Amino acid sequence: MVRGAPIQEASFLNPREIVKPDITYSQGFAQMEACYGARLDQWGWECGTYPAWFKARVLAWWRQHQLISLHVRDAGIRKGKKK
């Protein structure tokens, strides 16, 4: 878009054309995110300081934490629409 051009001539892209939904989410990234969310030592996580059973619990906790957060946000949106 050129500055000074009339707004009627501006072209807007469809958001589905801008956002690429084919983003891959690896298990390694999920573990990094869970480690960060639990405020654990990232280097210790990568070097194997934490046992596998503990890492599995942290990952499960983080996934539940994220789901709860999404449900709370969704409930807030629905409550706002009812008003």
Q: How far apart are the first and last CA of the chain?
A: 38
Cβ within 8 Å of residue 71, ≥6 positions away: none
For residue 43, what pLDDT is reported?
Answer: 94
**CA distance linking residue 77 with residue 45, whole number of Å:** 36
pTM of the model: 0.61
- Residues 12 and 22 sit within 8 Å (Cβ to Cβ): no
Mind listing the pLDDT tens digit for each residue in 37-60?
Answer: 999 999 999 999 999 999 999 999
